[in-house]
Amino acid sequence: MTGKIKVAKEHYETLAGLRYELRKFLRFSEKAAHAAGLTPQQHQAMLAIKGFPGRNYVNVGELAERLQILHHSAVGLVDRMVAEKLLERELSPKDRRQVLIRLTAAGEKKLEKLSAMHRQQLRKVGPELSGLLKRLNDAAE
């Protein structure tokens, strides 16, 4: 046996459909960020910070990991967002060498508005995405 796995046409269709629906959602998200005066990456950074498990702050390394970007790119992003008063830095009370990053009140307000819009959009596209994911799961069995 050559080790090749045969992929049926319906699997390609399901994968393509899933990719299409995800891309439409990402495009919606990009437009919503721009309309709010943010870049998509700024929106993602704010969401990553606010949505970090167990707390409302991150360090630069954690933000870089969540955004899947290089550390120095995360530093530049944070610098720009601090200048725009969307984020603030503070020294960790536990380790003064570590800098913590959190949203400002202005950042919180923008993120709350964008998140409400995203939840509404996900309610619209959720059934289609769920159906595609179910088809993929069923096909794997």
pLDDT in tens, 69-91: 999 999 999 999 999 999 999 99
**Containing domain of residue 20, as a range?**
9-140
pLDDT at 3: 65
Whether 103 is covered by a domain: the verdict is: yes
Residue 1 has pLDDT above 60, yes or no: no
CATH of the domain at 89: 1.10.10.10
Average confidence (pLDDT) over 6-11:
85
Q: Specify the number of domains making up the chain.
A: 1
- Cβ(17)–Cβ(132) below 8 Å: yes
Whether 3 is covered by a domain: the verdict is: no
Whether 115 is covered by a domain: the verdict is: yes
Q: In what order do the strands lie in the sheet with 57-58?
A: 57-58, 99-103, 87-91
pLDDT at 141: 65
Whether 81 is covered by a domain: the verdict is: yes
Calpha distance 106→59 (Å, rounded): 20
Percent of the chain clearing pLDDT 90 (strictly above): 82
> pTM score, two decimals?
0.88
Whether 2 is covered by a domain: the verdict is: no
Whether 4 is covered by a domain: the verdict is: no
87-106 burial by CB neighbour count: b if 16+ within 10 A, else e? Answer: bbeeeeeeeeeeebbbbeee
